[in-house]
Structure 1
Amino acid sequence: MRRGTRPARSALPFRQVRRTRTVERERWQPTTWTARWRRQGTLAGVSCATWGHGPFGRLPDRREWQGALARVWPTRASKSVEARGWVRETPTVRDHMEVSRGLWLRRWSAGDVPAVLTAFADPLMRGQATEPVTSVEAAERWVSSQSQRWRAGSAFAFAVVDGQDTVLGNVAVGAIDRRHGTGWVSYWVTRAARGNGVASRACRSLARWSFDDAGLVRLELGHRVNNPASCGVARAAGFAVEGLQRQKLEYDGVRFDVEMHARLATDADPDRITTV
């Protein structure tokens, strides 16, 4: 290779170099991570010898980089690293999809603030948010938090809407553990939408999305034992009962047992079960 020429990108090991633009020219220089790798011989506590032979070993591949970066900076990996285009911590996923005829799931947006405020005005919605949603500002914070968690890849919340884009409820998968492929499912519907199977249909679609798009393997959810409606939604969405957590929650000085449900990616899809 002649001096002053730039090597072909395809000829370079993955993430070995990065391109830095200057006013006069383009030049190539080792990344901070690569420099640290070769200087210290370790990354995230793993010896470079683990990935090859020789004095420095080979550079890790894409999956190995992703795991190492996640161990060093779990939250920063989805921001600075993804912003530089090194590693995509959060997979590309659909942000809207059709549940059934006239029923859709889509991401929450700023225009949903009035609908959120109306939904949380229902006394039965108490406890569905970390803070009371009793003002426009609180509703804006609630919607903003859903977007922040989506971008970070820690939770994915969908607004359940009808054909006229009227908000009927919410389904979400949060507490995502990428290492173990698990997530926690939650859901609620507005007063006008209850009793029509909206929650169960939306929850089934969310489960398929979590397995197919988010790459999760196990989904969990729980409900108070005095909430048979929520239990019916879980069962209709294919979540099997796994046990009881005694006196886990407290409301108004009264403690409640919580029934646990779970669904695996290998479990039968309720929408595809045929009876003979």
Structure 2
Amino acid sequence: MHLNAEGLCIRPFRAGDAEAFAAAVRESVATVGQWLPWCHSAYGAKEARVWIGQCAVRLNMGVSYDVGIFTEDDETLLGGVAINQIDHVHNAGNVGYWVRESMQRRGIGTRAARMIAKYGFDTLRLTRLEIVAAEHNHPSRAVAERLGARFECIARNRLFVRGAPLDAAVYSLIPGDI
């Protein structure tokens, strides 16, 4: 998988991305870390290497597509985007995304989510993608809305973050939406 469009490169993480990944995570604790518990101030290259290895295994198995968002020239790591929680029985998956703090508010999350959703529909042949964001995670919800995802509900206790259940906004995309 290697996607180039909309000024971005989306590709699987490589072992050599570990230091840049860890730095992007540490940079983003104040914004991303608020919603994603793996994003913490002590995140290091060793933890990144483990994550990158897990991503490669799941990608090779075709069960999860957790990949990196890079600048178009593939030089700078901007964040991550994914189709995961794939349910082959119902032909659906979940779209997730994060953008390093210094690059937020530039449309990167929306462009990357659009690219991965198209991949999910066109290549993986999925018929439903969900975006689930904590109810008060307004930046992630704004990405879903800019994509044209349909707001379906606030699902009670849908997410579990830092030992506590959180209500979450559930959005959906189907092939005709993108």
Matched residue type, 2:49: E
Cα RMSD after superposing both structures: 2.0
Q: CA deviation at 1:104?
A: 1.5
- Describe the superposition over 1:204-230 as per-residue Cα deviations: whole angstroms up to 9, x where unpaired: 111111011111110011111111111
3-state DSSP class of the match of 1:216? coil
Any conservation in 2 of the 1:242–1:260 contact (CA below 8 Å)?
yes
Paired residues for 1:1-276 under 5 Å? 95-100=1-6, 102-121=7-26, 122-123=28-29, 124-126=31-33, 128=36, 134-165=43-74, 166-251=76-161, 255-265=165-175, 267-269=176-178
* Residues 251, 216 of structure 1: alpha-carbon distance in 2 compared, 3 angstrom cutoff: closer
Which structure would you say has the larger Rg? 1
Aligned residue identity for 2:131:
L
Assess if the C-alpha contact under 8 Å between 2:66 and 2:83 holds in 1: yes
Cα distance change on mapping 1:252 and 1:113 into 2, 3 Å: closer
1:161-181: per-residue Cα shift (whole Å, max 9, x none)? Answer: 113321101110011122221
Q: In the aligned structure 2, how far is the partner of 1:136 from the partner of 1:268?
A: 38
Unaligned runs of 5+ in 1: 1-94, 270-276
Matches of 1:233 and 1:131, distance apart in 2:
19
Question: Retained in 2: the 8 A contact 1:150–1:156?
Answer: yes
Preserved contact between residue 154 and residue 175 of structure 1 (Cα < 8 Å) = yes
Q: Which runs of 5+ in 2 are unaligned?
A: none
TM-score, normalised with respect to structure 2: 0.88
Q: Give the aligned partner of residue 49 of structure 1.
A: none
Q: 2:165 and 2:177 mapped to 1: Cα distance?
A: 34
**Cα distance in 2 between the residues matched to 1:268 and 1:160:** 22
What is the deviation of 1:252? 5.4
Contact 2:4 2:72 in 1 (8 A): no
Instruction: Give the partner amino acid of 2:66.
Output: A
Q: Could you tell me how far apart the structure 1 residues matched to 2:164 and 2:124 are? A: 37
* Deviation (angstroms), 1:99: 2.2
The structure showing larger relative contact order (alpha-carbon pairs under 8 Å, at least 6 residues apart) is 2
CA distance in structure 2 between the partners assigned to 1:241 and 1:170 by the alignment: 23
The 1:153/1:129 distance shift into structure 2, 3 A limit, reads farther
Query: What residue number does 1:89 align with?
Result: none
State the shift of 1:131 in Å: 8.4
> TM-score, structure 1 length as denominator?
0.58
Runs of 4+ in 1 over 6 A off after TM superposition: none
Deviations 1:175-217 (A, max 9, x none): 1122221111110000121000000011011111101111111
